[in-house]
DNA sequence: TAGATTGTTAATCGATTAACAATC
DNA sequence: TAGATTGTTAATCGATTAACAATC
């Protein structure tokens, strides 16, 4: 049922997809300031990239600016919103309601207009049945049910690493198409499922790598 | 005072640096299982990458395996620990003690043996002077002092986006060499400062992009 | 020795950047 | 028109991958 427009939408490179949310945010800020038209130079600066890269990225979308003038903020915003699939709300289940899961459930960037947290699941009996961010935490046994009943398409894994793969298998079997993993362990998912990883410990170690080159005297 | 070994350490590519922590973690798991020697095939599988990529990555380090045998787990672990600069503990200051900052302060991946959280700072008078993860939260005015007094080299920014750049400027002026930004805003830092970004909202939007291609019928 | 696995090479692939003709 | 800015091309750069000679 896919519609192929002649000479139409090219495949959007992975690196470009990763920057679209940043552009969208910068556009929202400009719109809030009452800016109606902007240039690739201005928008790129706000997003922290080069103007050539911004124009290249936009060239993969049906978005178009006006040579000599720039881009209409409102319509470019709509284009990006559509490209990112934010026209309908995505439903998210968070598995693991420890400190991190708790924070994510309450995070405004997570529970905004584009995404809604529809389920919280934890294995700890002390956490189950408590209310977090307006939702009652469900036991692990109900995970598949929670995903299906609420039609969640995205699962956030914020559990200990030991159970992360098991959790992942359950949510994938239950039908989610995207997994965001915070557990410090490599997860296997079927090719059709999109997996993103946020590895907080690694981020610090990467910073330590660069720090090392300055402060360390040991060869 | 840098020691240049003839034919010695090449520049380690950015992408490789990003994978070293993952290898280190996989090695730790193997060591816990009592494995003494491993192959690039096994280790790569545990880390979720290809074996060719693992060997290529290790080729930038002075690490060496034995053809026909594999790698000694203990010594490869030491090599990676050294390469990442984890031989001495790095001191971390967390700015912004909301839900996320609170979670990070308590996160074991953050406050492990390699890193120690030495300061918590917040602007909210209701949060200042409370104790979180064993530390008293300091007021924003004391930020520069907290960084300097404790010799922090890494700052974690978990504040609202509106104040993130100001916080960043203060910690950089106070002498940190690495910044980990959780605020949804592009930050400017001097070239000598290493900046890493964790953009939680963007991660969900990127998942939505791929989800869109499945569920959306709109061209 | 025979079998296994490394370290490296060379080919491929994808991403970035600068430059500029086309356009308003 | 003159000045400005887009969209695209081509060149560069960096990362990945497969293959294999060297080595144990």
pLDDT at A1: 37
Question: Would you say B96 is a known binding-site residue?
Answer: yes
The Cα–Cα gap between B76 and B63 comes to: 6
> Who's near A76: CB < 8 A, 6+ residues apart?
A27, A58, A63, A65
| A6 has pLDDT over 70 | no
At the top level of CATH, the class of B14-82 is mainly alpha
Q: Is A218 exposed, middle or buried (0-12, 13-18, 19+ CB in 10 A)?
A: exposed
Q: Is A194 on the interface with B (CB under 8 A)?
A: yes
- B90-202 CATH fold: Rossmann fold (3.40.50)
Footprint of strand D on the protein (CB under 7 A): A 39-41, 51-52, 55-56, 58-59, 63-71; B 13-16, 49-50, 52-53, 55-56, 66-69
| A41 has pLDDT over 90 | yes
**Quick one: average pLDDT of A104-133?**
91
Contact in structure between A186 and B48 (CB atoms under 8 Å): yes
pLDDT at A9: 56
Give the best-scoring range by mean pLDDT among A15-29, A110-124, B7-21: A15-29
User: How close does chain B come to A109, measured CA to CA in Å?
Assistant: 5
| A211 has pLDDT over 80 | yes
Question: Would you say B101 is a known binding-site residue?
Answer: yes
CA dihedral sign of residues A11, A15, A18, A23: negative
> Who's near A130: CB < 8 A, 6+ residues apart?
A136, A137
Domain boundaries, chain A: 14-83, 90-202
Interface with chain B: mutation pick from A29, A98, A103, highest number of B CBs within 10 Å: A103
Q: Is B210 on the interface with A (CB under 8 A)?
A: yes
Question: What residue of A is the nearest CA neighbor of B91?
Answer: A208
Q: Compute φ and ψ for B99, nearest 5 degrees.
A: -55, -45
The Cα–Cα gap between B210 and B206 comes to: 7
pLDDT at A8: 45
pLDDT at B9: 56
Cα–Cα–Cα angle for B97, B101, B105, rounded to 5 degrees: 105
**Quick one: average pLDDT of A212-219?**
54
Residue-level pLDDT, tens digit, chain B, 219 residues: 333 344 445 799 999 999 999 999 999 999 999 999 999 999 999 999 999 999 999 999 998 899 999 999 999 999 999 999 999 999 999 999 999 999 999 987 776 678 999 999 999 999 999 999 999 999 999 999 999 999 999 999 999 999 999 999 999 999 999 999 999 999 999 999 999 999 999 999 999 998 886 665 443
At the top level of CATH, the class of A14-83 is mainly alpha
């Amino acid at each position: 049922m896919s519609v192929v427009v002649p000479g139409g939408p090219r495949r959007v490179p992975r690196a470009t997809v990763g920057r679209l949310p940043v552009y969208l945010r910068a556009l929202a800020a400009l719109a809030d300031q009452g800016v109606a038209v902007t240039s690739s130079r201005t928008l790129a600066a706000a997003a922290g990239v080069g103007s050539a890269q911004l124009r290249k990225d936009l060239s993969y979308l049906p978005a178009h600016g006006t040579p000599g003038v720039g881009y209409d903020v409102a319509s470019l915003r709509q284009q990006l919103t559509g490209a990112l699939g934010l026209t309908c709300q995505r439903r998210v289940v968070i598995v693991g309601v420890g400190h991190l899961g708790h924070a994510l459930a309450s995070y405004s960037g997570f529970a905004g207009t584009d995404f809604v947290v529809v389920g919280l699941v934890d294995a700890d009996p002390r956490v189950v049945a408590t209310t977090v961010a307006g939702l009652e935490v469900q036991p692990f046994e109900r995970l598949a049910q929670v995903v299906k009943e609420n039609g969640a398409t995205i699962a956030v894994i914020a559990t200990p690493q030991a159970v992360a793969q098991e959790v992942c298998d359950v949510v994938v079997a239950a039908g989610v198409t995207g997994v965001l993993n915070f557990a410090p362990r490599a997860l296997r998912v079927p090719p059709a499922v999109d997996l993103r990883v946020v590895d907080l410990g690694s981020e610090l170690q990467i910073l330590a790598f660069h720090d090392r080159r300055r402060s360390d005297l040991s060869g």
